[in-house]
Amino acid sequence: MEKFQVSQKAKLPTRFGNFFIQSFREFKLEKECECPVEHLVVFTDKFCDAPLVRVHSECLTGDVFGSHKCDCGGELALAMEKIAQEQENGKGGMLIYLRQEGRGIGLFNKVNAYALQDKGYDTVEANEALGFKSDNRNYSLVGDIFEYYKIKKIRLLTNNPKKIEAMSKYVEVSRDSIVVPSNCYNEKYLATKKAKLGHLL
Ligand SMILES: [Zn+2]
């Protein structure tokens, strides 16, 4: 069976700028589920040698509902702004939006993890109490996406050393930091990301 399919390329005007989008439909063979997962790639019309790339994992509560429990929504908006700037200066960029909610555990389990956090668990302890690894994400499709767009070198927008390591399997990576201001709700979450997940904050 094929590993993925690619949709047609379409225009997407946004409040950040005008981009193109394409969807990658990934066929995952995991456990009893063979359901396809549909990801989104947002990109500028041209790329330089090393375009600015953000690999963003879905966070419905943060990206759409403006949650203050994490920094995902702010990072997504900031990444889109930065990629729009790269479009203007002719270097180009790409945002790969991976549908792996809640660090890969799914929305239902993430809400249960939030309920544990309400009782005082931190983000890592809550995932582990539910029987998951602290980070269940998988980036195997990203290599195929880079190959599809013929990208061999990137400037990766991230604070996560594990993501740099994961991307380095597929392309040459240099890092651009992405820093959104913290608030009273996510200070502990950001501190845990720094202390337990090694984020460069
Ligand atoms: Zn989030």
pLDDT of 23-78, one tens digit each? 999 987 766 666 789 999 999 998 989 999 999 999 999 999 999 988 899 999 99
Instruction: Indicate whether 13 and 90 sit together in one domain.
Output: yes
Q: Output the CA 1–ligand 1 centroid distance in Å.
A: 33
Alpha-carbon distance of 173 to 152, in angstroms, equals 9
Catalytic-residue membership of 49:
no
The verdict on residue 4 lying in a domain is no
Instruction: Indicate whether 186 and 146 sit together in one domain.
Output: yes
Catalytic-residue membership of 71:
no
Q: Output the CA 189–ligand 1 centroid distance in Å.
A: 10
The verdict on residue 188 lying in a domain is yes
Instruction: Indicate whether 131 and 142 sit together in one domain.
Output: no
The verdict on residue 175 lying in a domain is yes
Instruction: Indicate whether 27 and 83 sit together in one domain.
Output: yes
Three-state DSSP string of the chain:
CCCEEECCCEEEECCCCEEEEEEEEEECCECCECCEEEEEEEECCCCCCCCEEEEEECCHHHHCCCCCCCCHHHHHHHHHHHHHHHHHCCCCEEEEEECCHHHHCCHHHHHHHHHHHHCCCCHHHHHHHCCCCCCCCCCHHHHHHHHHCCCCEEEEECCCHHHHHHHHCCCEEEEECCCCCCCCCCHHHHHHHHHHHCCCC
Q: How many domains does the chain have?
A: 2
The verdict on residue 179 lying in a domain is yes
Instruction: Indicate whether 43 and 127 sit together in one domain.
Output: no
- Which is the catalytic residue, given 54, 103, 137, 155? 137
Q: Output the CA 124–ligand 1 centroid distance in Å.
A: 13
Alpha-carbon distance of 192 to 125, in angstroms, equals 10
pLDDT of 64-120, one tens digit each? 999 998 889 999 999 999 999 998 888 999 999 999 988 888 999 999 999 999 999
Answer yes or no: is pLDDT of 17 > 70: yes
Alpha-carbon distance of 79 to 157, in angstroms, equals 7
Q: Output the CA 50–ligand 1 centroid distance in Å.
A: 27
The verdict on residue 75 lying in a domain is yes
Instruction: Indicate whether 87 and 169 sit together in one domain.
Output: yes
Instruction: Indicate whether 176 and 124 sit together in one domain.
Output: no
Q: Give the domain range for residue 117.
A: 104-136
Instruction: Indicate whether 21 and 94 sit together in one domain.
Output: yes
Q: What is the pLDDT of residue 188?
A: 77
Categorize the per-residue pLDDT at 151 as very low, low, confident or very high, splitting at 50, 70 and 90. Answer: very high
Instruction: Indicate whether 128 and 46 sit together in one domain.
Output: no
Q: What is the pLDDT of residue 112?
A: 95
- Which is the catalytic residue, given 135, 144, 175, 176? 135
The verdict on residue 1 lying in a domain is no
